[in-house]
Amino acid sequence: MKRKIKLFTVLTLLVSVISFAQLKEYDYKRSLDAVKEDWHTVTVPDDVFSKVSPSLNDMRIYGISTALDTIEVPYILKINKEKTISQKHPFEIINTSKTDKGYYFTFKLDAPTSINNIQLSFKDTNFDWKVDLEGSQHLKQWFTILEDYRILDIHNTTSVYSFTELVLPESSYRYFRVLVRSDQQPVLESALISMDKLIDGEVVKHRVKTMKLKEDKSSKSSVFEFELENKVPVSRIKVHVDANYDYFRTINISYLSDSIHTEKGWKYNYRNIRTATLNSLESNEFKIDKTIAQKFRISVLNDDNQALDITSVVVEGYKHELIARFTQPADYVLAYGNASAYRPNYDIQKFKNTIPAQLTSLGLGKEVAIDKIKSTEVSPLFENEWWLWVVMGIVITLLAGFTFKMLSNTSSKVEE
């Protein structure tokens, strides 16, 4: 009986060592709730992103089964972005006319259909026009869809900006006409009529910990800096400005990429991720390529204008989750934190259509740092180099003795 207990103990220790051999390559782990189905999702918490590589390659799900086998669970990293499906509708411009109100452009669709977006493109530059949009089924009676809608184009040495998109409530007509209130004939180069449908993604709002706005009169600019609670993936920043007048400012959005300690103190390096326009016409919501960062800076070029009062920002990122397939009961953990890890290549990437539509999310335990096995430093055989010289002297003496003996034997044989 004692022999069986010892054998079981040895096997348990052996499995633990094998399991740790895989986990030791990672810095942290979190336990997963008990698995009850074949497929589950695991939401990646905000505080994980500061400890994984920017590529997000170093996340693994490991488990120890009841048979003491080590299991690596395949997963798909899903980033829940929104999608826009745009259905373009063919049309022709059938009429261009002028009245005391301005200039009309009439569009005829191939068939009455629902639209909610018209993109206009003019040859003209540096304009600020008000437009009306009307719809009709048979050119006899017109119904107002948009009124006093503002479109704008600015081209100068510091800024290039154009806003000529008509966003309208879903409307179904055979004919649409645009009235441009202008003193001069606008040159309409092209137009695009479509029905845009937005499929919402899952967005996570990130809490802003600190904000600071400062004005630099020497460079005629303002700098708005803010810091988040954690280093997280950011995909959208919405800026709130307190102003009851029209404004138009070029901005640069950047994030803190690294910092260096010098003799004069810390030097912070910011990397630009988007140049855009802060203005009173739009919602000032800026999409950026996914950036994992904690500190951000928005530089506003004021020129000779009054500095804008930026009161707050809303920072959002898409929800990141792992869709994982489990094949047997086990104690599972999420391991992460390995800058040299490669992107895993699992079969389930090729069979996404087999994943169930409804999945249950597994909860995660608290973060635990994984203990590393410290390698025992092996002392050199000869710590004092004099021992090495002594051994080399002995070896050389022995070799010389053997050589002399062989030569003596050869000479004796020759004399005989």
Digit-coded pLDDT (tens) for 169-212:
999 999 999 999 999 999 999 999 999 998 888 999 999 999 99
Question: Are 225 and 231 within 8 A, CB to CB?
Answer: no
When computed from its CA atoms, the radius of gyration of the chain, rounded to whole angstroms, is 35
Percent of the chain's residues with pLDDT above 70: 85
223: which 2 tokens?
């700098």
User: In this model, does residue 72 exceed pLDDT 60?
Assistant: yes
CA distance 65 to 71: 7
Res. 6 pLDDT band, cuts 50 70 90: very low
CA distance 395 to 384: 18
Give rounded-to-5 percent helix, strand, coil for the chain: 15, 55, 30
Q: Which of 375, 335, 324 is nearest to 25 (CA)?
A: 335
Residue 350 DSSP code: G
HSE-up of residue 227 (Cα within 13 Å, Cβ side): 5
User: Using one digit for the tens of pLDDT, what is the confidence trace for 337-394?
Assistant: 998 899 999 999 999 999 998 999 999 999 999 887 655 555 555 555 566 666 666 7
By mean pLDDT, which of 138-147, 155-164, 235-244, 316-325 is the weakest?
155-164
Residue 49 DSSP SS3 = helix
Q: Which of 331, 332, 300 is nearest to 313 (CA)?
A: 300
Find where tokens 């203005």 sit: 279
By mean pLDDT, which of 41-45, 105-109, 126-130, 398-402 is the weakest?
398-402
Chain length of the chain:
416
Q: Which of 235, 239, 347, 228 is nearest to 284 (CA)?
A: 239
pTM of the model: 0.77
How many degrees, rounded to 5, is the angle at CA 356 between CA 40 and CA 324?
30
Query: What is the pLDDT, as a whole number, of residue 275?
Result: 94
Find where tokens 């630009």 sit: 272
CA distance 155 to 334: 52
Query: What is the pLDDT, as a whole number, of residue 2?
Result: 47
User: In this model, does residue 4 exceed pLDDT 80?
Assistant: no
Question: Are 262 and 330 within 8 A, CB to CB?
Answer: no
User: Using one digit for the tens of pLDDT, what is the confidence trace for 124-150?
Assistant: 999 999 999 999 999 999 999 999 999
Query: What is the pLDDT, as a whole number, of residue 293?
Result: 95
CA dihedral 226, 230, 235, 238 (to 10 degrees): -30
User: In this model, does residue 12 exceed pLDDT 50?
Assistant: no
CA distance 77 to 321: 6
CA distance 255 to 273: 7
Q: Cα–Cα distances in Å, from 267 out to 75, 256, 259, 260, 388?
A: 40, 11, 6, 5, 50
Residue 349 DSSP code: G
Which amino acid, one-letter code, is at 61? I
CA distance 225 to 268: 13
- Beta bridge partners, 146, equal 133
Phi-psi region of 227 (alpha: psi -120 to 50; beta: other; left: phi over 0): beta
By mean pLDDT, which of 46-50, 120-124, 154-158, 294-298 is the weakest?
154-158
- For residue 320, what are the contacts with CB-CB under 8 A and spacing of at least 6? 43, 44, 56, 77, 78, 79, 80, 233
User: In this model, does residue 318 exceed pLDDT 70?
Assistant: yes
Mean pLDDT of the chain: 87
Average pLDDT of span 76-99:
94
- Beta bridge partners, 320, equal 79
Query: What is the pLDDT, as a whole number, of residue 381?
Result: 52
Q: Which of 411, 212, 399 is nearest to 311 (CA)?
A: 212
pLDDT winner (highest mean) among 59-63, 287-291, 382-386, 403-407: 59-63
Q: Nearest 5°: phi and psi at 25?
A: -75, -10
